[in-house]
Amino acid sequence: METTQESQQSIVKAAWNKRPLIISGPCSAETEEQVLATAQRLANTGKVDMLRAGIWKPRTKPGMFEGIGAKGLPWLQQAKKLTGLPTTVEVATGKQVEDALTFDVDVLWVGARTTVNPFSVQEVADALRGVDVPVLIKNPINPDLELWQGAVERVARAGIKDIGLIHRGFSSYGNTEFRNAPMWHLAIEMKRRMPGTPIINDPSHICGRRDILLATAQKAIDLDFDGLMIESHIDPDNAWSDAKQQITPERLAEMLDEIVWRREDVSSETFHIALDKLREQINHIDDELMQLISQRMHIAEKIGTYKKNNNVTILQANRWNEILDKAVKKADKLSLSEEFVTRYMDAIHMESINRQNKIMND
C-alpha cells in the first residue's frame, strides 16, 4: 500500500478522531514475523484503528526483556505498509523520538514511568519541537494528577496540538485484584480538567490478567472514555513481556463485540425528558444532603467549644468506633456498600475534627 506523506497524515488524523479509538498490538515487538503476523491478524478483524508495539521497554528490574530497540522500527514500518494501520510507539528519550520519527511512527506515547519524571518529559517535549505528530500521555505510576497535567503542558508547550491521555491505573504496594489500581475518579477528574482532550483506557496494564479485561474495558466505555488500548499477541502465553495480560487478535475482536458501546448522549426527546426529571431529583437530594452536612458541622463545632471549655480531647476513639459500627450496620440494610459508607463517614469525621481543631486552637 503506497501512500504519500500527505495522505498518510490524513489517515492518521482520521484514526485519531475515530470514536471509539481502538489501539492494539503486542506489549513488545519481538521479531519481524511476530510484528507482521500480529498486525495482519489485527487488520483482519477490521476493528482496530492503530497498531501499537513497545520498542524500548522500561522494565522494573534489569535482566528482564528491555525491548528490541531501534532495529524493530522497520518491522513496524513494514506492518503499516502491509495493513495500512498507523503505528504508535512509546518514547522516553529525545533519541527515541528521533528514531521513531525517522521510521515514520505515526503517533507517539509517553509511558507511565516517564510521565513521573519531568526531566524525561521535557527531553521528549524538546525533541518534538516543530513536529506535527499526535502524542498520547499515560498517567504517571503514582496517583498525582498535577504530574500528569504537567506532562501534558510540557508537550503542549513544545507545539504539539493533538494530545491525548491514556489511563492505565496506578501502582500500589502488595497484591490486589488489579496490577494497577484504576482509581477511576482520578481519570474522571482529568476529564473534567481537560474537557477537550481525548482520554482512552488501557485495561491491559490496569488488570495485568485476562479474566477481568472485558469488565474493565466495559467500565471505561460506561464512563465515556474515547477508546481503548489493549495489548494483543499471536502467542500470548509466550510473549516476552506482559504475557499474562495479552490476548490474541481474534479474542480481542470477540471482546470488542461483547462490549456494550454506550454514547454520552442520545438525541431522542423522551429520553432527555426522562433523564432531566431524574437529574432534577438528584440535584434536589444533593442540595438537601449539603444542607444536612452543614448542620452536622455546626453541631460538631458546638461540641468542639464544649470540649474546649472542659479540657477534653477532640478524638474519642470509643465514640467514633460506635458511630462507624452503627453506620456500617445500617448501610447494609440500605443496600449501601460498607466500603462507601466507611469512606463517607471518614470524610465527614475528618472535616468535623478539622473544625473542632480550629476551635480548640483559636
**Among Mn ion, ligand PEP, none, what does residue 80 contact (CB within 5–8 Å per kind)?**
none
Pick between residue 65 and residue 320 the one whose CB is nearest to ligand PEP: 65
CB-based closest residue to ligand PEP: 111
User: Which stretch in 110-118, 144-152, 245-253, 280-288 sits in contact with ligand PEP by CB under 6 A?
Assistant: 110-118
Q: How far is the CB of 165 from ligand PEP (least distance, A)?
A: 12
- Measured CA angle at 133 (ends 16, 27), to 5 deg: 70
Closest CA to 140 of 172, 119, 162, 171: 171
Q: What pairing do the DSSP bridges indicate for beta strands 135-138 and 227-231?
A: unpaired
> Contacts with ligand PEP in 119-138 (CB under 6 A)?
138
- Report the C-alpha gap between 14 and 199 in whole angstroms: 16
User: Which stretch in 11-19, 105-113, 120-128, 302-310 sits in contact with ligand PEP by CB under 6 A?
Assistant: 105-113
> Contacts with ligand PEP in 9-68 (CB under 6 A)?
27, 54
User: How many of the chain's residues bind ligand PEP (CB under 6 A)?
Assistant: 8
Q: How far is the CB of 163 from ligand PEP (least distance, A)?
A: 16
Q: C-alpha grid cell for residue 177?
A: 485484584
> Contacts with Mn ion in 239-298 (CB under 5 A)?
242
Under the binding rule (CB under 5 A), the answer on residue 27 touching Mn ion is yes
User: Which stretch in 65-73, 111-119, 214-222, 341-349 sits in contact with ligand PEP by CB under 6 A?
Assistant: 111-119
Question: What are the C-alpha distances in Å from 151 to residues 69, 70, 144, 161, 269?
Answer: 24, 24, 11, 14, 41
> Contacts with ligand PEP in 207-246 (CB under 6 A)?
none
Pick between residue 49 and residue 242 the one whose CB is nearest to Mn ion: 242
User: Which stretch in 29-37, 108-116, 245-253, 268-276 sits in contact with ligand PEP by CB under 6 A?
Assistant: 108-116
Q: How far is the CB of 159 from ligand PEP (least distance, A)?
A: 24
Residue 164 half-sphere exposure, CB side, CA atoms within 13 Å? 29
Q: C-alpha grid cell for residue 313?
A: 480531647
Q: Which residues bind Mn ion (CB under 5 A)?
A: 27, 242
Instruction: Name the site residues for ligand PEP (rule: CB under 6 A).
Output: 27, 54, 111-113, 138, 168, 205
